[in-house]
Structure 1
Amino acid sequence: MTQRTIVRRVRGMDTADGAGVKLKRVIGQPALDMLDPFLLLDEFRSDQAGDYIEGFPDHPHRGFETVTYMLAGRMQHGDNKGNRGDLGPGSVQWMTAGSGLIHSEMPQQEAGLMWGFQLWVNLPASDKMIAPRYQDIPPGDIPVVQPADGVTVRVVAGELAGATGPVSGIATQPVYLDIALDAGARFDLSLPEGHSAFAYVFDGTSATVADGPLARSELAVLSKGDTVSFAADEAARVLLVAGRPLDEPVARYGPFVMNTPAQIHEAIADFRAGKF
């Protein structure tokens, strides 16, 4: 076995997106532009309605996937093809934008805590123009396992302790785990050796990931290897995400992610021409 280690630590950066939604950007900021195949990771968390109430009105996407994981609060997704989806606590939406769509993500509450993550995952060149699709996953469809004493894991994607996450058919073969550690808990997790991987502490004061401590709102970029260890002196929750790197050129412009600048220009022209 090859133990993974922490090769880089990154703290989330306070910013705003959409119509002014306050969030913490962890991937997709100056300190960590991307981690192939992951293009962006945002954590949004506030119990002040003014921080989220305007939501994310209509905006386009092409060439990648968005993954929304709700911990608290309610959001509604809608797009220009008539699709609608409600995201409540514990639910996941894995949206493959593919060739393009225009969608919105709007709060379905006027008070209370809104908390969750949005992850952007790149698509390989061969899939960038496929038809858009959705995987809307309610909380009850996400398996929960206890791989060790004091450890509870929600398996969104990938496999763990005999459970397989409900997300399927994704080119980057992702692993997406919500790991809850009780005080004093520890365990080792197997990962595909060549996958890019990161861990992010989102609840509690800190946790030990791989070979070192990781504070709340801090992300660890992990080395390659087939095993990563977790431990906690106090209760904590950690997001662990891994995926097969694409090793392809990346051209980005706002909500468009392609392989060449020419493809970006084409995406902009198609959007302006109403072809999404």
Structure 2
Amino acid sequence: MNTRTLARIIPSVAASDGAGVKLRRSLGNAQTLRHDPFLMLDEFYSDDPQDYLRGFPAHPHRGFETVTYMLDGHMRHEDHLGHRGDLGPGDVQWMTAGRGIVHSEMPQQTEGRMRGFQLWINLPAKEKMRPPAYRDIAAREVPVVTLECGGKVRVIAGTLMQEGRIAEGPISGGSTNPLYLDVVLPAGGQFMAPVEPEHNAFIYLYEGEAWVGDDRRELPMRAAGLLSAGEQVRVDTSQVGARFLLLAGKPLGEPVVQYGPFVMNTRQEIEQALADYRDGTLTAPAGSGPEQRRSRNG
């Protein structure tokens, strides 16, 4: 199998969002730094409550999906449809903004560590105005695969094949058919896994040291490594081990026009989203509420 190489490195930069939450942004720190269908990846990580206490008060989205993955801490999601979800360590929320949703994400702690990720995934033009949908995924619903080297992989979305075994995450299918893995490698460990050849893929290293591909190119800490084409991914680590995300998805190949929390295909559609938000008509029509689902095929 043809192994992917590390084709481009996008370092994360310090940023803030919401009401001043401090974070690191790699993909999306400039509008040219995307990897179709992925629009943005934020890592939030702090032991200082002043870095996160003000949270993300009510704000709108249209035209894409958000995935919030918690490692440490407690965050509450509420939206205009009356849905409330509590995210703790290992929990995931997968939200399809579609036509429009107004939601908040607020910390439910006044001390301790708050740590996790938010990923934005684009939607194709034909789905940007669909009714909003969401799923809260408890940590216990996420399969954990033990590697031969002693490492572990949490399969949040897509399918992982390892040594004749198949593990399927709670989210699957859809237009971008995403793969979302959280990989922990012990000292001297190695991770190899097949990836759909037509999918774009990247790795985000958030702990330790990692070398990518057969040529063992080093990926810096807190950087997104965009991968070349290929059929499989290989990551090796040193005596300090590594923790990283592996994300892959089917590219859409469509124009992307973004204005803050709105991601559409044309400037005119962005102007319409802004007008709808001002007029109070951004959100889904009455009676079209969110869809609870087992997978994105449903």
Q: TM class, shorter-chain normalised?
A: over 0.9
Q: Are residue 208 (structure 1) and residue 214 (structure 2) matched?
A: no
Per-residue deviation, 1:33: 2.0
Identical aligned pairs, as a percentage?
Answer: 53
Q: Are residue 72 (structure 1) and residue 77 (structure 2) matched?
A: no
Per-residue deviation, 1:151: 2.0
Taking only aligned residues, the RMSD between alpha carbons, in angstroms, comes to 1.1
Describe how 1:38-117 pairs up with structure 2 within 5 A.
38-117=38-117
Per-residue deviation, 1:148: 2.4
Is there any run of 5+ residues in structure 2 with no aligned partner, and where? 284-298
* Other-structure match for 2:278: 272
* Other-structure match for 1:23: 23
Distance verdict in 2 for CA 1:43–1:262, change over 3 Å: same
8 Å CA contact 1:93–1:137 kept in 2: the answer is: yes
Tell me the distance in 1 between the aligned counterparts of 2:94 and 2:174.
Answer: 9
- Pairing partner for 1:195 from 183, 193, 199: 199
Whichever residue aligns with residue 148 of structure 2, its letter is A
Per-residue deviation, 1:31: 8.8
Once superposed, which parts of structure 1, at least 4 consecutive aligned residues long, lie more than 3 Å away? none
Paired residue secondary structure (1:35): coil
TM-score (norm 2): 0.90
Paired residue secondary structure (1:140): helix
* Other-structure match for 1:232: 237
* Other-structure match for 1:164: 168
Per-residue deviation, 1:146: 1.6
TM-score (norm 1): 0.97
Q: Are residue 220 (structure 1) and residue 225 (structure 2) matched?
A: yes
Tell me the distance in 1 between the aligned counterparts of 2:188 and 2:199.
Answer: 28
CA deviations 1:3-55 (Å, max 9, x no partner) are 10011112110011100000000111139621110111000000100000000
8 Å CA contact 2:185–2:191 kept in 1: the answer is: no
Q: How many residues align?
A: 275
CA deviations 1:87-115 (Å, max 9, x no partner) are 10000111000000110000000000000
8 Å CA contact 1:199–1:220 kept in 2: the answer is: yes
Whichever residue aligns with residue 121 of structure 2, its letter is V
Distance verdict in 2 for CA 1:190–1:101, change over 3 Å: same
Tell me the distance in 2 between the aligned counterparts of 1:54 and 1:13.
Answer: 20
Whichever residue aligns with residue 87 of structure 1, its letter is L
Higher strand share: 1
* Other-structure match for 1:175: 179
Per-residue deviation, 1:249: 0.8
* Other-structure match for 1:3: 3
8 Å CA contact 2:158–2:173 kept in 1: the answer is: no
